[in-house]
Amino acid sequence: MKNRNVVILSAVLLWASPQQLWANMSYQTGDIIFHVSKSQQSLGIQKATKSRYSHMGLIVHKNGKAWVLEAVQPVKYTALQQWIDRGVERHYVVKRFKTNLTVRQKQTLIKNAEQYLGQPYDLYFEWDNRALYCSEIVWKAYHDALGIELAPLSKLKQFDLSSPEVKQLMQQRYGQSIPLNETVIAPQAIFASTALVEVDRK
């Protein structure tokens, strides 16, 4: 009977997806995951910020499962595998704060991020908390909960707003009143942060 159970377990492991197995073994609460979104604004974000990646979220372990706390419509938890499947070619990168967070720090971080659950997605990339976008919620959670500035903040005018895709996105969102001095944080700024180390890429 014992040998039979071993065979069954081996079969389950062979059929389980590599992403699921690796996530369960390796990812930690507080890790930051990036991918290329299939949303209509994704290309505009990529061109404006000179980034391959257009969406990101916080990995959280809850109830024995890995989730991504992300700013979509609305801010919510998405199962990790579902989040991965939603990205272009299922490609993703996971990064981690270079100094391992304590259990208490992780709890404080996620408690801060969870205050935004249910908030609407911020189509206008404003810096207030009435609505939030993906990189904003990650930056604010680390900064407000732990005093960690993952990357310097920018102004909208510092992005490359010259491409047709970006111009169209700006026109749709703002018309003729583009808030060039709005404080912003792009996924690329956090992705390039020297405070983070890469722990996985698929």
In angstroms, rounded to a whole number, what is the distance separating the alpha carbons of residues 178 and 143? 27
Which CATH topology does 2-201 take?
Answer: endopeptidase fold (from Nostoc punctiforme) (3.90.1720)
- At 148-166, the pLDDT tens digits run 999 999 999 999 999 999 9
Per cent of the chain over pLDDT 90 is 86
Q: Name beta bridge partners: 155.
A: 183
Confidence of residue 93 (pLDDT cuts 50, 70, 90): very high
What is the pLDDT at residue 11? Answer: 42
Sign of the dihedral through C-alpha 90, 46, 68, 23 = positive
Residue 151 — φ and ψ, nearest 5°? -160, 155
Confidence of residue 18 (pLDDT cuts 50, 70, 90): very low
In angstroms, rounded to a whole number, what is the distance separating the alpha carbons of residues 96 and 98? 6
In angstroms, rounded to a whole number, what is the distance separating the alpha carbons of residues 73 and 118? 8
- At 129-152, the pLDDT tens digits run 999 999 999 999 999 999 999 999
Is the pLDDT higher at 60 or at 40? 60
